[in-house]
């Protein structure tokens, strides 16, 4: 069972494992506290509207599909501190 510290350090890999069907019990202070697992067909909702109405996600603030001014496209593996350093110069 991973600890909350190890999950925080490598969240993406734990979510990928859960999406692949594995149920992962997370401990806090040695006590099982949460379970990461795959969504079932009924839980997935199928659409953003269904997820919002069920309270699983918060609706996007922008509804026109535009990207905010000043938004920057980046690779998913980019480190946040390096991106900020590049923006700030």
CA distances from 41 to 18, 34, 38, 45, 47 (A): 14, 21, 9, 7, 12
Q: Is residue 46 part of a domain?
A: no
Instruction: Please report where in the chains the tokens 């535009």 appear, as a residue.
Output: 66
The C-alpha atoms of residue 72 and residue 3 are separated, in whole angstroms, by 34
Give dist(CA 6, CA 24) in Å, integer. Answer: 12
User: What domain range includes position 19?
Assistant: 1-40
Looking at the domain assignment, is residue 53 inside a domain? Answer: no
Q: How many domains does the chain have?
A: 1
In a domain, 75, yes or no: no
- 30-48 tens-digit pLDDT: 999 999 988 776 665 567 7
Output the CA–CA distances (angstroms, integers) from residue 76 to 73, 80, 83, in the order listed. Answer: 9, 10, 11
59 within domain boundaries = no
Nearest to 7 by CA among 30, 39, 40, 36: 36
Domain-embedded: residue 12: yes
- CATH code, domain with 31: 3.40.1620
For the record, the structure tokens of 55 come out as 């309270």
Q: pTM above 0.85?
A: no
| pLDDT digit string, tens, across residues 44-69 | 556 777 778 888 778 877 777 776 67
């Amino acid at each position: 069972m991973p600890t909350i510290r190890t999950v925080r350090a490598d969240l993406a890999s734990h979510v990928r494992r859960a999406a692949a069907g594995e149920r992962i019990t997370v401990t806090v202070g040695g006590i099982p506290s949460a379970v990461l697992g795959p969504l079932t067909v009924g839980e997935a909702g199928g659409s953003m509207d269904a997820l919002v109405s069920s309270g699983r996600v918060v609706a996007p603030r922008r509804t026109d599909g535009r990207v905010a001014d000043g938004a920057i496209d980046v690779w998913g593996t980019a480190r946040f501190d390096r991106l900020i350093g590049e923006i700030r110069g």
